[in-house]
Structure 1
Amino acid sequence: MLRLCAASVRLRLGLGLHPSRVSWQRQLGTHGRKESREPLNSPKRAKEFIYRLQAGERSCLLQELQNFESIAIAQETVEPSPPTAAQIKYVLFHNTLPFIGFGFLDNAIMISAGTQIELSIGITLGISTMAAAALGNLVSDLAGLGLAGYVEALASRLGMQVPELTPKQVDMWQTRLSAHTGKAIGVVIGCILGMFPLFFISDDEDKKAKTDKAKPC
């Protein structure tokens, strides 16, 4: 249990995710655009982060921070070496995998919900296709509140361990670039895969349904 909890906290910190359950939505740009993106380098943001964690997660976080700092202190006099090509690839893949799930859920739920809204209450109320898509995105965001945690847990259980990097290697530009590239690749792949509901949607049927509803009785 402790290992799983530690992995969850590591995943959130390692991926740069926001600690709340809408973390993946902020990364995808679908939620919280007006929220401050102030990094965790101020007492206010650190406090907000801590208060969003559960008791077990706070214990894991404290333990991992202590371990990280002890390693960093021990290696202060050691000349840092850049991460190897294998480590860079692992960091990229480690960040790609969970974001495939985030992108898949975001697009799949939005398309499915938006289509059903347009063909039901959308026709009755006469709302536009874009309005139906916006409501579908709302449903996708709400679903993400509960599903984001499951995606994170699933990524941890698939055996994706945190890359074995030294504290100095974690802060190197090669590692940061690989992590951000992995997130971008994951979102692209996930969103493309999440478009699969389009295969089951017929434009002709949609137009016919709209025409039938528009005909006067």
Structure 2
Amino acid sequence: MLRFCAAAVRLQLRLHPGRVAWQRQLGTHGRKEPREPLNSPKRAKEFIYRLQAGERSCLLKELQNFESIAIAQETVEPSPPTAAQIRYVLFHNTLPFIGFGFLDNAIMISAGTQIELSIGITLGISTMAAAALGNLVSDLAGLGLAGYVEALASKLGMQVPDLTPKQADMWQTRLSSHMGKAIGVFIGCVLGMFPLLFISEDEEKKAKADKATQR
């Protein structure tokens, strides 16, 4: 079990590609950083075609509002975001990532352990292979659960921070956003380790001993 836990920790050090949508939040990109997947007309077109009619209309309206505000403020000297706005940006990014980290770690540990005690013993696969399969299950589950976590965060009152376009691009906003995500993932992954409280090494040894006896 200790080997599996070590493998789980190593595998959780990476953020999975399926959650890039959560990383594309307000003020999280540098000025010269490519904005995947909308960094070319082709990628932008692919993104638009994946949206439904209502989503396209809403996106167009918000883009027009954003650009009109940016144009109106071109001649105005931008003021940096206030301390309250910085805190809100941090908390706004922290909350959904707590849910992401919690589900990711909890599902991966639970699934990986069951795979190791069942398929792993039957097929004789390694602990790392069982951890990788548990990570696969966690990724697949994350694709379907990400939307629910975002919806829950919205129901808790976490709306988009009230920032001007220039304030959204300031380094203070980007730094606060990245810190919020890091804090959220850390807290979520720690909380997501709770399945380890219900897993004992005796159960693993017993399963392996029973399998060896059957052979």
TM-score with structure 1 setting the length: 0.81
Deviation of residue 73 (structure 1)? 1.2
* Separation of aligned partners in 2, 1:24 and 1:118: 29
Matches within 5 A, 1:119-198: 119-198=117-196
Deviation of residue 52 (structure 1)? 2.6
Q: Tell me the number of residue pairs that the alignment of Structure 1 and Structure 2 aligns.
A: 190
Deviation of residue 212 (structure 1)? 2.0
Matches within 5 A, 1:10-89: 22-23=18-19, 38=36, 40-89=38-87
The answer to whether structure 1 residue 109 and structure 2 residue 115 are counterparts is no
Identity %: 88
* Separation of aligned partners in 2, 1:25 and 1:120: 34
* 1:37–1:159 CA distance, 2 compared to 1 (3 A): closer
* Separation of aligned partners in 1, 2:138 and 2:22: 13
1:125-183 superposed Cα distances (whole Å, 9 cap, x missing partner): 11111111111111111111111111111111110111111111001011011111111
Deviation of residue 199 (structure 1)? 0.4
Which amino acid is 2:86 matched to? I
Which amino acid is 1:188 matched to? F
Structure 1 residue runs of 4+, over 6 Å off? none
TM-score with structure 2 setting the length: 0.82
Give the conservation status (yes or no) of the 8 Å contact 1:24–1:102.
Answer: no
Which amino acid is 1:113 matched to? A
Deviation of residue 53 (structure 1)? 2.2
Deviation of residue 120 (structure 1)? 1.1
What stretches of structure 1 of length at least 5 have no aligned partner? 1-17, 28-35
Structure 2 match to 1:91: 89
What stretches of structure 2 of length at least 5 have no aligned partner? 1-15, 24-33
Q: Which has the higher contact order (CA 8 A, sep 6+)?
A: 2
Deviation of residue 38 (structure 1)? 4.1
Give the conservation status (yes or no) of the 8 Å contact 1:117–1:135.
Answer: yes
* Separation of aligned partners in 2, 1:129 and 1:45: 39
1:51-110 superposed Cα distances (whole Å, 9 cap, x missing partner): 232222211111111111111111111110000111101000000100111111111001
* Separation of aligned partners in 1, 2:98 and 2:147: 14
Deviation of residue 24 (structure 1)? 5.2
Give the conservation status (yes or no) of the 8 Å contact 1:24–1:148.
Answer: no
Which amino acid is 1:59 matched to? S
RMSD in angstroms over aligned alpha carbons? 2.2
